[in-house]
Structure 1
Amino acid sequence: MLVTSEVKLEHIILHKVGNKSRDESIQFSKKPLDLDSTVKDLLQRYFLSPFKSEAYYNLYHESDINLNEVYNFVARIFDNPEAFLEQSENLARHLYEQSTHPNVKGGEFYVTYLHDLVLDGEALEAVGLFKSENRETYLKIYPSGDTFDIDSEDGVNINKLDKGCLIFNTDREHGFVVLTVDNLNKREEAVYWKDDFLKVQSRQDAYHHTQNVMSLCKAFVEKRLPEEFEVSRGEQADLLNKSVKFLKEKEVFDLQEFQNEVIAQPDLIQSFQSYKTEFETDRGFEIKPEFDIHENAFKKNTRFLKSVIKLDKNFHVYVHGNSENMQKGYDEERGLHFYQLFFKQES
């Protein structure tokens, strides 16, 4: 959990980074910004308020973490804060080199040095990297004699950070602890921020272990199970509900216990184990055989495991258990499929 109430914004510098493939320029500031307290408070809110997720990452490199450019430059700032200006320029150059997709927008690139940013109860130093890419039009209304005038002006919406990351001076040997925000990551070109510029991977902690096993359960039930076995949508929903119930009731996830209690049938367990191996290889992570279940990760991902049967565009059937009280059939006269639902009372 991130706490920002005591944070101190020690240094901030702004560089302009364009799109290299469009031959746009890169412009460096020669010194950090000197801001009054009001503007500094606004920038802190702009930079830090989007970081609500507890999904942590590490900077990484396939062969040597020291070859990760962001890791290298940020480590030099932590080791010698006097090198802040030089390393901020190195970070801007690196971002420029990664800004090659034709749809990547140029924008302002902020590098900040923060003190007393509290992460999971520990006050830490952090380097913040932020980029604003979009402009919005604002109306300025002001009195003019016995009436009012209105002007328009383009600016940055401080409630909509486009891209940002916080790199904390802890767990250095594993690539520091990183939080990241990318509000434009719906499009293919936007992944350059996480994948090419930062180059981060999920941190191997309880949050990601919980998230990963829930993704595995969903994928197995929806993809592999109907490929290898004759199962109804109700039976699929039942298995998802059992998975959610297991995770909700346990404090520690035990893979063997999960297989025995939830998957249960030997042929299904064998299929699950085989799919788990494929899933880990495809996703590039390992499902741990035992880990503490992260409550917030469970709550966040439970909505993706909802058991919903969608019937054409007319009906959604939410199944919370007891799939044996559902029967599927086909009406020859109407030429339509149907479900029968058996229940004790209506509410």
Structure 2
Amino acid sequence: MALDFTGATIDKLIVHRVGNKMKGDEMVLSQRCADIRGDSLPTLLGKFFFQRIKENEAYNFYHINDIGFNEIYQYVKSIFCGLVSFEINSQNIAKQLYEVSTHPNIRTGELCIAFIKGVTLNGVVYDSVGIFKTESKESFLRISGDENKFTVEWEQGIDTNKLDKGCIVFNTQMENGYNIALIDSGSSIDTKYWTEDFLGIQKSNNDFNKTKTLVDACKEFTKKDYIGEKADKVAMLNSVVEYIKTNPIIDLGDFTDHVAKQANRSEELKFFINDYAEKKECKNIDNFFVNPSALKNIKRSIKNFIRLDTDIEIKINSSSEDNIKYLEKGYDENRQMHFYKIYFNEEE
């Protein structure tokens, strides 16, 4: 999912305070939208809301029975369709968050709900709804005064570089639970309470996530004991990259036969990928189209080198799948050390 916030503007913003229900914290609901007019405030808010979006992974609303039972889906849908006022829908979203805020580690914070215009998703401009929560407060000094005297005051506020959690829902694919981009909080507690209990979202079963899941499974496979030598593991991951680069459609059987042929581990790899995909709730991975955006990230994530404890790295490029045959590993009895021997014709 490719995102561009260059032309994005925050049309409406309302802020509620939501505490921990189990601790008896209060919930304070705003009745009107915040005044965000000004030269610098809209830009600052945009930076605050958009900077940590995980644009490489797409999500959608879901419910185990029917998507119509997902409360947040219904409130966001109402905002897009204009069925009920933006303010009322935002209050309902805040109430739902309060109901699920029962874990002892969940802190009181400000829930910001924004109606955003002009965000580009995969080359198309959409309206969107942003749902954000900030719990962390930072101390800062406010200095004011005139020519004769300065006053220093201590206050607490929100660090615009630290948004705790949030998501942006794009007004597309309504029947499938909308397209949703998530903010990376890095917390397992947030993953459970924010994404599952509150939002009710899941990773979209699209070609991006299938491509990513396939490669992640291969990377995990090389960490196991199926393949012994580090050079063979690098060679297999290089084969993964080359196969995906040259084959726009993935057939899992052909893929595993190709990338694991040198290690003679095709069947083990196929079973491992299917098992990994099932645990990640990624369906229909046997046949799908390669996602170009995922391919760019794959190239950056694959480590095609061998790092040695003598502060030397051996890089094995993926441009040739059989270049591993020019690398030979051995053991020197005199030095009591392992070594690599590299064959070549000319230095370049």
The interval holding the TM-score normalised by the smaller chain is: 0.7 to 0.9
SS at match of 2:216: helix
Aligned partner letter, 2:259 = V
1:204 aligned residue:
205
Instruction: Find the aligned partners of 1:327 and 1:296 in 2 and give their Cα distance.
Output: 36
Match of 1:98 in 2: 100
Give unpaired runs (5+ residues) of structure 2.
Answer: none
1:124 counterpart (106, 123, 126): 126
**Structure 2 CA distance for partners of 1:21 and 1:336, relative to 1, 3 Å:** farther
Asked if 1:222 corresponds to 2:219, the answer is no
> What is the Cα deviation at residue 80 of structure 1?
2.5
Residue pairs, 1:295-334, within 5 angstroms: 295-312=292-309, 316-320=313-317, 322-332=323-333
Root mean square deviation, CA, Å: 2.8
| 1:201–1:224 distance in 2 versus 1, CA, 3 Å | farther
For the residue of structure 2 that corresponds to 1:115, the secondary structure is strand
TM value normalised by structure 1: 0.86
CA offset digits 1:220-240 (Å, max 9, x no partner): 2322623xxxx3221111111
Superposed displacement of residue 108, structure 1? 0.4
> Does residue 1:179 correspond to 2:181, yes or no?
yes
Q: What is the match of residue 275 of structure 2?
A: 278
Match in the other structure for 2:141? 139
Preserved CA contact (<8 Å) 2:130 2:169 = yes
Q: Distance in 1 between matches of 2:325 and 2:262?
A: 17
The amino acid that maps onto 2:57 is: A
Whether the aligned pair in 1 keeps the contact of 2:60 and 2:177 (CA below 8 Å) is yes
- 1:137 and 1:153 in contact (8 A); partners too: yes
Q: Which residue of 2 aligns with 1:74?
A: 76
Cα 1:312–1:61, aligned 2, differ >3 Å: closer, same or farther? farther
Q: Secondary structure at the match of 1:55?
A: strand
Q: Supply the distance in 2 between the matched residues of 1:164 and 1:201 (Cα, whole angstroms).
A: 14
Distance, in Å, in 2 between the alignment partners of 1:141 and 1:56 is 44
In 2, Cα distance between equivalents of 1:331 and 1:18? 65
Counterpart for residue 28 of structure 2: 27
Identity level (%) = 31
Out of 246, 250, 265, which is 1:249 matched to? 246
- Equivalent residues of 1:142, 1:149 under 8 A apart: yes
Deviations 1:263-312 (A, max 9, x none): 23695222222222222222211353343322332222333321344445
Q: Which residue of 2 aligns with 1:16?
A: 17
Question: Is the 1:214–1:301 Cα contact (8 Å) retained in structure 2?
Answer: yes
Aligned residues: 341
Change beyond 3 A, Cα 1:246–1:153: same
CA distance in 2, matches of 1:195, 1:318: 42
Equivalent of 2:230, from 230, 233, 238? 233
| Preserved CA contact (<8 Å) 2:209 2:282 | no
Tell me, yes or no, if the aligned pair for 1:2 and 1:52 is still in contact at 8 Å: no
Q: Which sections of structure 1, spanning at least 5 residues, go unmatched?
A: none
Distance 1:223 1:17, change over 3 A: same
List per-residue Cα deviations over 1:8-49 (Å, max 9, x = no partner).
433221110112233222111122223323334432332234
Q: Which deviates further from its counterpart, 68-77 or 31-40?
A: 31-40
Q: Which moved more, 1:253-262 or 1:307-316?
A: 307-316
Do the aligned residues in 1 keep the contact of 2:18 with 2:111 (CA within 8 Å)? Answer: yes
What's the offset of the Cα at 1:109? 0.2
TM-score (norm 2): 0.85
Q: Which amino acid aligns with 1:292?
A: F
> Higher helix fraction: Structure 1 or Structure 2?
1
Q: CA deviation at 1:179?
A: 0.7
